Amino acid sequence: MKEVTKMISVEEAQEKLLAVVNILEKEDVPILDSIGQVIAEDIYSEINVPPLDNSAMDGYAVQSVDVEGATPEKPVLLRVIDTVAAGSISGKAVVPGTAIRIMTGAPVPQGADAVVQFENTDEVQRQEEASEQPIKEIGIMQRAEAGLNIRRAGEDIRKGALIFNRGTIIRPAEVGVLASLGKTQVRVISRPVVAVLATGDELVEVGKPLPAGKIYNSNTYSIAAMVRHYGGIPKILGIALDTEESLVNSLRRGLDADMLITSGGVSMGDYDVVKDVLASEGEINFWTVRMKPGKPLAFGTINGRDKTGAPKKIPHLGLPGNPVSTMVTFEMFARLAINKMMGKKSLKKPEIEAILEGRIANRDGRRVFARGIVEKRGEQYFVRPTGPQGSGVLTSMSLANGLVIVPEDRAEARDGDIVRVMMLDWNESMV
Ligand code: AMP
Ligand code: MG
């Protein structure tokens, strides 16, 4: 089955792609490996955090009624019956007329209902006088409300409480909270394995000498880097020559992946080889997307196998070979597919409005994604094109922090115009 070439909008292409992409299975992973993954089931706490009432200060645990009248001029004297450090529990109870010396984080002893910090006692003077000996008596110089400097058990997390809804994306803070619950693993949606295949007789693998007429294969690396950046696992299939045999052999090594991304071979000259091969290995459509860079795009499914060996259809995205087109079409299509497979709800990148400094032409009624450098000056965003916008100028992607969008129905965006920018990064120049 194949579709005749016709111009479709970016949105239409996105919809068609997402229609064949499914959310992946759940898996249990070590919490530290889960950054960027989506929590697959509601998580409840089995413990209180902190587990016991504990001291927020270094000081003395007292009974608040004992120190009601305490002032610097008239300290209340209490007998010191014990010292308790974080990690231990005092075997003694505070009774009227006594205090227990306590360190930050140590459980509050029985009988005590407040902690008076060292600064509000005569601790320093007593330490000097006692030299190496433990202090036997302490002067409390300020009254203390019940509860003063006590962190209550369960103040952060209550036993039984819902901590994370499924669908929560894991960031470092979530990793920390999971650790505070004592968990080593978390159930998340799996990361997609994305097979990456470059095509082209002109390509040479990095690290090798560059013969005349050849170029280094950069697309494999920009694609694999983006796969990883957005949370997937790249599976690099190397370079296929523009022959059926080479393409088929390379493809076969990727048939257990969750998605296949090829680059090159979709422009008019090359397309036939790719089309014939992919039609025999699955289903292929050729799209002309109304966007620039990145007009030609191949899309389909490859007949692959899952972990159990059962047949499955692997979504295949054939990106154009020009290095900028490859990256921009990845952002617009492959990234959405990865997000969906990972269970992410929001598939969009942030967009802002900025004042254009420069001019961007749009000659043939496509949606232009020009590489731009966004800066914030005062409360206003400004954006300027990175320089030459050829789809082979990969350094333009490296200079850019956003893609300036010139809609299909605008012949140009002029200096001073307000333009929309899809942000790729939110870096220092933005704040
Ligand atoms: P194609 O889409 O195969 O016609 O390729 C378009 C342009 O992109 C050609 O100039 C190719 O040399 C270049 N190109 C294709 N694949 C790669 C690659 N993997 N790395 C760098 N440039 C590439
Ligand atoms: Mg090619």
CA-proximal residue: ligand 1, atom 8 (nearest): 322
Is residue 333 classed as helix, strand or coil in its secondary structure?
helix
Helix ranges (DSSP H) in 230-312: 244-252, 271-281
Other beta carbons less than 10 A from residue 329's beta carbon: 29
Least confident range from 81-95, 110-124, 416-430: namely 416-430
- The answer, yes or no, to whether any atom of ligand 1 lies below 6 A from the CB of 203, is yes
Among 322, 327, 328, 394, residue to substitute to test ligand 1 (most atoms within 8 Å of Cβ): 322
Q: Which amino acid is at 297?
A: L
For residue 142, which of 109, 119, 111 has the smallest C-alpha distance? 119
**From 5-19, 31-45, 143-157, the region with the lowest mean pLDDT:** 5-19
- How far is it, in rounded angstroms, from Cα 337 to Cα 16? 11
Q: Which residues pair with 319 in a beta bridge?
A: 263
Token match 């933005």: residue? 430
Q: What pLDDT sits at residue 264?
A: 93
pLDDT score of 2? 45
pLDDT in tens, 132-143: 888 999 999 999
Collapsing DSSP to helix, strand or coil, 227 comes out as helix
Q: Distance (Å, rounded) from C-alpha 341 to C-alpha 23?
A: 4
Cβ contacts of 47 within 8 Å, gap of 6 or more? 157, 159, 181, 182
Ligand 1 centroid to Cα of residue 299, in Å, is 18
Name the CA dihedral angle for 13, 18, 21, 23, rounded to a multiple of 10 degrees: 160
| Structure tokens belonging to residue 368 | 């232009």
Looking at the CA of 267, name the nearest ligand: 1
At residue 44, φ and ψ (nearest 5 deg) are -110, 155
Does 271 score more than 80 pLDDT? no
DSSP code of residue 332: I
Q: How far is the C-alpha of 122 from the C-alpha of 129, rounded, in Å?
A: 11
Say how many CA atoms lie within 13 Å of 187 toward its Cβ.
10
Nearest CA to ligand 1 atom 23: 321
Do β-strands 43-44 and 402-406 pair in parallel, antiparallel, or remain unpaired? unpaired
Give Cα 197 to chain centroid, integer Å: 25
Q: Tell me what the mean pLDDT of segment 227-239 comes to.
A: 98
User: Of 219, 237, 241, which is best to mutate to test ligand 1, by the most ligand atoms within 8 angstroms of its C-beta?
Assistant: 219
Q: What was the pLDDT predicted at 5?
A: 58
